[in-house]
Amino acid sequence: MPDPTPPAPNAPDQVGILIDGRPVVVTKGATVLQAAETIGLEIPHYCYHPGLSIAGNCRMCLVEIEKMPKLQIGCATVASQGMVVQSTTERVRRTREGIMEFLLINHPLDCPICDQAGECRLQQYEAAYGAGFSRFTEEKVHFPKRVALGRHVVFDAERCIKCTCCIRFCDEVSGSHELGLFQRGDHSIIGTFPGRPLDDAYSGCTVDVCPVGALTLKEFRFKARVWFLKDVPSVCGGCARGCSVNLATYRNAIHRITPRVNMDVNRHWICDAGRLSHRALDERPRFESPRVRPAPGAGPAGGGPPPDVAHDRGIDAAADLLRAVKERAGAGGLAALVSARLTVEDLRLAVRALAETIGIPRLAVPPHEEGEDDHLLIRKDRTPNVRGAALVGPGAPHAGRVREILDDVTAGRVKGLVVVGEDPVGEGLLAAEAVRSLQALVVIDWWRSPTVEAAHVAIPSCGYGEFEGVFVSFEGRAQRARAALKPRGHVDPVWRILQDLGHRFGLAATYPSASAVFDEVAASVPAFAGLSYRALGSLGAALKVT
Amino acid sequence: MAYEPLLLRNVGKPGSETIDVYLASGGYQGLRRVVKEFAPEKFVEEVKAAGLRGRGGAGFPTGMKWGFLPKTKDRPRYLCVNADESEPGTFKDRLLIEKDPHLVLEGIILSAFAIECHTAFFYIRGEFHTGYRTFAKAIEEARAKGFLGKNILGSGYDLDLILYRGAGAYICGEETALLESLEGKRGLPRIKPPFPAVVGLYGCPTIINNVETLANVTLIAERGASWYAGLGRPPKNTGPKLYCVSGHVKRPGVYEAPLGIPLMELIQERAGGLVHPDRPLKAVVPGGSSMRVLPATKCDVLMDFDSLIAAGSMLGSAGVIVMDSGTCMVWALLSLARFYAHESCGQCTPCREGTGWFVKVLERIERGEGRPGDVDLLIDVASRVEGNTICPFGEAIAWPVDSYARVFREEFEDHVAHGTCPIGATAAR
- CA-nearest of B196, B59, B47, B64 to B121 is B196
Say whether pLDDT at A472 is over 50.
Answer: yes
Half-sphere exposure of residue B280: CA atoms within 13 angstroms, side-chain side: 5
Contacts of A174 (CB under 8 A, 6+ apart): A200, A201, A202, A203, A205, A376
A484-500 pLDDT tens trace: 999 978 899 999 999 99
> Count of CB contacts below 8 A, A vs B?
92
Say whether pLDDT at B99 is over 50.
Answer: yes
Q: B193: cis peptide before it, omega within 30°?
A: yes
Say whether pLDDT at B182 is over 80.
Answer: yes
Q: In Å, how far is A69's CA from the nearest CA of chain B?
A: 9
Q: In Å, how far is B330's CA from the nearest CA of chain A?
A: 18
Residue B119: its pLDDT value, please?
Answer: 98
Indicate the domain borders of chain B. 19-225, 237-324, 329-418
Q: In Å, how far is B186's CA from the nearest CA of chain A?
A: 9
Residue A353: its pLDDT value, please?
Answer: 97
What is the pLDDT averaged over residues A429-448?
A: 94
**Cα–Cα separations (whole angstroms), residue B393 to A55, A94, B171, B314, B387:** 17, 21, 8, 15, 10
Contacts of B342 in chain A (CB under 8 A): 184-185
Residue B141, classed as helix, strand or coil, is helix
- Residue B413 burial class via C-beta count within 10 angstroms: exposed 0-12, middle 13-18, buried 19 and up: middle
Contacts of A56 in chain B (CB under 8 A): 191, 348, 390
What share of chain B in percent tops pLDDT 90? 96
Last residue of a domain, one of A88, A109, A127: A88
Residue A544: its pLDDT value, please?
Answer: 82
Last residue of a domain, one of A32, A61, A88: A88
Q: Hey, are the CB atoms on B361 and A138 less than 8 Å from each other?
A: yes
Say whether pLDDT at A20 is over 70.
Answer: yes
Alpha carbons A403 and A55: distance in angstroms, whole number: 54
Residue A282: its pLDDT value, please?
Answer: 85
Residue A275: its pLDDT value, please?
Answer: 97
Q: Which of A103, A135, A181 sits opposite B186 (nearest CB)?
A: A181
B329-418: CATH architecture: Up-down Bundle (1.20)
A374-414 pLDDT tens trace: 999 999 999 999 999 999 989 999 999 999 999 999 999 99
Task: Give the predicted TM-score (pTM) of the model.
Answer: 0.94
A298-309 pLDDT tens trace: 544 445 666 778
Last residue of a domain, one of A88, A115, A137: A88
Contacts of A350 (CB under 8 A, 6+ apart): A336, A338, A342, A363, A393, A394, A420, A494, A498
DSSP A174-233: S----EEEES-GGG-EEEEBTTB-B--TTTHHHHHH-SSSSEEETTTTTT--GGG-EEEE
What is the pLDDT averaged over residues A330-347?
A: 96
Asked if the C-beta of A525 comes within 8 angstroms of chain B's C-beta atoms, the answer is: no
Residue A301: its pLDDT value, please?
Answer: 45
Q: Which residues of B touch A (CB under 8 A)?
A: 169, 186, 191, 341-350, 352-357, 360-361, 364, 377, 381, 384, 387-390
Q: Which of B186, B343, B349 sits opposite A58 (nearest CB)?
A: B349
Q: Hey, are the CB atoms on B377 and A186 less than 8 Å from each other?
A: no
Half-sphere exposure of residue A92: CA atoms within 13 angstroms, side-chain side: 19
Say whether pLDDT at A3 is over 70.
Answer: no
Amino acid at B364: R
Is-contact A347 A389, C-beta < 8 A? yes
The helix (run of H) or strand (run of E) holding residue B24 is: helix B19-24
Give the Cβ contact number of residue A309 at 10 Å.
16
Alpha carbons A42 and B190: distance in angstroms, whole number: 25
Q: Hey, are the CB atoms on A185 and B347 less than 8 Å from each other?
A: no
Residue A462 domain-assigned (yes or no): yes
A307-331 pLDDT tens trace: 778 889 999 999 999 999 999 999 9
The helix (run of H) or strand (run of E) holding residue B120 is: strand B119-124
Contacts of B390 in chain A (CB under 8 A): 56-57, 59
What is the pLDDT averaged over residues B124-151?
A: 97
Say whether pLDDT at A31 is over 50.
Answer: yes
Q: Which of A210-224, A386-400, B415-429 has the lowest mean pLDDT?
A: B415-429
CATH 3.10.20.600 fits B237-324, yes or no: yes
Q: In Å, how far is B360's CA from the nearest CA of chain A?
A: 7
Residue B145: its pLDDT value, please?
Answer: 96
Residue A123 domain-assigned (yes or no): no
Domains in chain A, number: 2
Strand pairing report for A541-542 and B78-83: unpaired
Residue B426: its pLDDT value, please?
Answer: 53
Cross-strand partners of B303:
B261
Contacts of A92 in chain B (CB under 8 A): none
B30-58 pLDDT tens trace: 999 999 999 999 999 999 999 999 999 99
Residue A260 domain-assigned (yes or no): no
SS (H, E, C) A9-52: CCCCCEEEEEECCEEEEEECCCEHHHHHHHCCCCCCCCCCCCCC
Q: Hey, are the CB atoms on B191 and A135 less than 8 Å from each other?
A: no
Cross-strand partners of B123:
B82, B164
* Interface mutation target, options B170, B199, B348, B364, chain A, most CBs of A under 10 Å: B348
Q: In Å, how far is A120's CA from the nearest CA of chain B?
A: 17
* Interface mutation target, options B347, B366, B393, B397, chain A, most CBs of A under 10 Å: B347
Asked if the C-beta of A58 comes within 8 angstroms of chain B's C-beta atoms, the answer is: yes
Q: Is the dihedral of CA B306, B307, B308, B311 positive or negative?
A: positive
Grade residue B341 by pLDDT with cuts at 50, 70 and 90: very high
Alpha carbons B81 and B120: distance in angstroms, whole number: 8
A427-437 pLDDT tens trace: 999 998 899 99
CATH number of the domain to which A33 belongs: 3.10.20.740
B350-381 pLDDT tens trace: 999 999 999 999 999 999 999 999 999 999 99
Alpha carbons B54 and B48: distance in angstroms, whole number: 12
- CA-nearest of A448, A445, A486 to A467 is A486
Residue B427: its pLDDT value, please?
Answer: 46
Residue A352: its pLDDT value, please?
Answer: 97
What share of chain A in percent tops pLDDT 90? 92
Superfamily of domain B19-225: NADH-ubiquinone oxidoreductase 51kDa subunit (3.40.50.11540)
Say whether pLDDT at A10 is over 90.
Answer: no
* The Cα angle at residue A341 between residues A380 and A251, in degrees rounded to 5: 110
Domain with A372 in it: 291-542
Q: Which of A6-10, A164-168, A197-201, B308-312 has the lowest mean pLDDT?
A: A6-10
B230-288 pLDDT tens trace: 999 999 999 999 999 999 999 999 999 999 999 999 999 999 999 998 999 999 999 99
* Interface mutation target, options A184, A187, A188, A212, chain B, most CBs of B under 10 Å: A184
Grade residue A2 by pLDDT with cuts at 50, 70 and 90: low
Q: In Å, how far is A55's CA from the nearest CA of chain B?
A: 8
Name the DSSP class of A106.
Answer: T
> Does the interface ipTM go beyond 0.85?
yes
Alpha carbons A149 and A209: distance in angstroms, whole number: 15
Residue A476 domain-assigned (yes or no): yes
A271-301 pLDDT tens trace: 999 999 999 888 999 999 999 987 655 544 4
Say whether pLDDT at B345 is over 90.
Answer: yes
Residue A300: its pLDDT value, please?
Answer: 46
